[in-house]
Structure 1
Amino acid sequence: MTPEEEDINRQPVIEMEISSLRLSGSPRLAGTDTVHLEAMAAAAQELPPIVVHRPTMRVIDGTHRIQAALRRGETTINGRYFDGSEDEAFVLSVWLNVSHGLPLALADRKRAAERIAVSHPQWSDRRVAAVTGISPGTVADIRRRVNGVPAPESSRIGQDGRVRPLDCSAGRLLAGQLMTENPTLSLRQVARAAAISPETARDVRNRLHSGADLVPSRRGRDTAAQPAAAGNDRDRNRLNLVRPVDRQESVTENAVVIKRLMGDPALRYTDTGRNLLRLLSLHAHWAKEWETIVDNVPPHCTDVVADLARQFADLWADFATRVPRHRMAS
């Protein structure tokens, strides 16, 4: 949930006259979906509140609900106001339509990314991708070809709201030094100290383990982008969850540890404990199959799957940092 969505949910729900609302500016290029509209109109339950941009009275989220209410013969509808700028209202509209309800079509999401790349040039590719529901790589392609996008700046604002440089060579080198001198530091601690993203810190760690250069060369990236070299690059850069020499041993040890945890009553007999055990067991079960899974991801899904993997890895990294801290606090 974005801060804007949290703010909206704190706003009071009020009854609005449908005749006072504007339905233009929707991110849906094809307009309303007839099947979805008929299903909503026929449903007996009360329609959820819509979201309206107060300065313009333009509907940010809820066009189908308004049309359904009109089909029912209603003249008012419950809603909440949003008071930001028009550009902020559009970003919120895209986010809400991507995250729930009838999903935006891919063409709608790409068009939305074009507009957001122009209105928010300081946002990182990953932040635009998180709003629009497409991959960061696709956002980067859109940013390069869309007319009106200003020349790249020296830094951008990431998904976490922090400003980071586009050229993070110095940050990578500092991160490598920090990891070498203090291997117990978490990825987030290193990222914060070196002013890089946690994902960049993870890449630095993997490069340290494999003996590769901490700063990837531009030539290497360009070559990796070519179809002929992509397969070779994939073979050289296998998924390094642990050092290659200890991978099998680590997988076996992890399975033993998880089996021991499954006998712990504090985990076994609570809902949250069982959920944690399921997650850990899932990783342990599939750890031996990582390479097979990596090699069989369909080409058209690679960007999306890779981005999801990075986001989930960040969640686990944050979890690993917070658990010891929680134990000390208690």
Structure 2
Amino acid sequence: MAALAELDVPLPPIIVHRDSMRVIDGVHRLRAAQLRGHDSIAVTFYDGTEADAFVLAVESNVRHGLPLSLPDRKRAAARIITTHPQWSDRKIASVAGLSPGTVAEVRRSATVGVPGDIARIGRDGRVRPVDITEGRRRAGQLIAENPSLSLRQIARGAGISPETARDVRNRLSRGEEPLLPARPRGVRPRPGEELLKVVPQTGRAEIRRAAAAETALREGLSAVNRLKADPALRLNETGRLLLRLLSVHMLPPDEWKGITDTVPPYWSGTVAHLARECAHIWEEVATRVEKNTAQGNAQGNSVAAAPADTSACPTV
């Protein structure tokens, strides 16, 4: 509060619940204004219910306020579950700064919710069933009938999320059934206990190719994340440029298909030419990196590595 009070700039508006006049977001700014001797502060009023105001307060704190402790976040999640039982675990997790699994545990221990509720509202505002058994079964049928369907098409047709559709397709590519096996809570399935094959032989090759592409994407994303954690790359402008370029190309196959499908026919030749040129450039980059590595190995390991260039690192 003292640091805010010393700033010689106008403070952003605080958020206040109009009905109760409680501060939802900006208590520290309010105190800082008082320390400055001001008798007023800019306000943005929130006109929702008190329950929604609490959700907004928790979400604002998680995003940019002083960090809440884990017990505080769990208590906040329990209160949101009580007032918004129709929200999914992922939606509440995104508000409270918890994992969906933790929210599920809080929901079970809180023993609240709509009795027999069959659907919940997700982060994207869409309503999805709590029990997705039928959705998984329908997804398996859609994939068996048309293995070339995208994940989004499968998800829309089966009423499930694209991530669930991806899991179903991966299971089918391994020769497993689309439904998750029923088992006691906390017990993991034994390897090989799901052996039912539901996809015709003619469609398995395409499903396996799609699964292989998704595996390659996950491995690529994991590699890029490891690169982002290396100070030798993220603390200089050239390294950050490389990381941005690599991240741009880490798109799921569905998104690439969406991009190519939207190219107007009269630009298809130009786009194809540019794409091939980009491929040639990346091939040249790969060759140069491998050449530099080979030269470095040839010089031996007795030369100490130079420290990372941090001259471009912004001062916090």
SS for the counterpart of 1:76 is coil
Deviation at 1:328, TM superposition (A): 4.2
1:145 correspondence with 2:81: no
Give the Cα separation in 1 of the matches to 2:107 and 2:92.
10
2:283 aligned with 1:327: no
Q: Does residue 18 of structure 2 align to residue 54 of structure 1?
A: yes
Q: Does 1:278 align with 2:246?
A: yes
- Partner residue of 1:218? 182
Match of 1:100 in 2: 64
Greater RCO, CA 8 A, separation 6+? 1
**Normalized per residue, which structure has more helix?**
1
- Letter in structure 2 aligned against 1:63: V
Deviations, residues 130-157 of structure 1 (Å, cap 9, x unaligned): 1111000000000011154443511111
Aligned partners of 1:190, 1:91: CA distance in 2, in Å? 33
Q: Counterparts in 2 of 1:289-300, with a 5 A limit?
A: none
Provide the aligned C-alpha RMSD in A: 3.3
Deviates further, 145-154 or 168-177: 145-154
Of residues 132, 136, 144 in structure 2, which corresponds to 1:168? Answer: 132
The answer to whether the Cα contact below 8 Å between 2:85 and 2:112 also exists between their aligned partners in 1 is no
Please state whether the residue corresponding to 1:109 is helix, strand or coil: helix
Q: TM-score, normalised by structure 2?
A: 0.63
1:185 to 127, 149, 164: 149
CA contact (8 A) 2:86 2:114 kept: no
Instruction: Answer whether contact 1:187 1:317 (CA < 8 A) is retained.
Output: no
Contact kept in structure 2, 1:188 and 1:317, CA below 8 Å = no
State yes or no: 1:80 paired with 2:16: no
Indicate if the aligned counterparts of 2:82 and 2:112 stay in contact, CA closer than 8 A: yes
Equivalent position of 1:134 in the other structure: 98
CA separation in 2, counterparts of 1:220 and 1:211? Answer: 23
The amino acid that maps onto 1:277 is L
Q: Mark the CA change 1:45 to 1:122 in structure 2 (over 3 Å): closer, same or farther.
A: same
Whichever residue aligns with residue 279 of structure 1, its letter is S
1:61 Cα offset (Å): 0.6
Deviations 1:145-171 (A, max 9, x none): 115444351111111111111111111
Offset of 1:112 from its aligned partner?
1.0
- List alignment gaps of at least 5 residues for structure 1: 1-36, 237-241, 256-272, 284-314
Written as runs of structure 1 = structure 2, the 5 A alignment for 1:210-249 is 210-219=174-183, 222-224=186-188, 243=208
TM value normalised by structure 1: 0.61
Alignment length, in residue pairs? Answer: 229
1:120 corresponds to which of 84, 98, 118: 84
Gaps of 5+ in 2: 195-206, 221-240, 268-316
Residue among 20, 44, 68 paired with 2:32: 68
Compared with structure 1, are the counterparts of its residues 149 and 46 closer, same or farther at alpha carbon in structure 2 (3 Å cutoff)? same
Tell me: CA distance 1:68–1:154, structure 2 relative to 1, closer, same or farther (3 Å): same
In 2, the alpha carbon distance for the partners of 1:325 and 1:61 equals 44
Aligned to 1:219, the other structure's residue is in SS state: coil
In 2, distance between residues paired with 1:121 and 1:201? 25
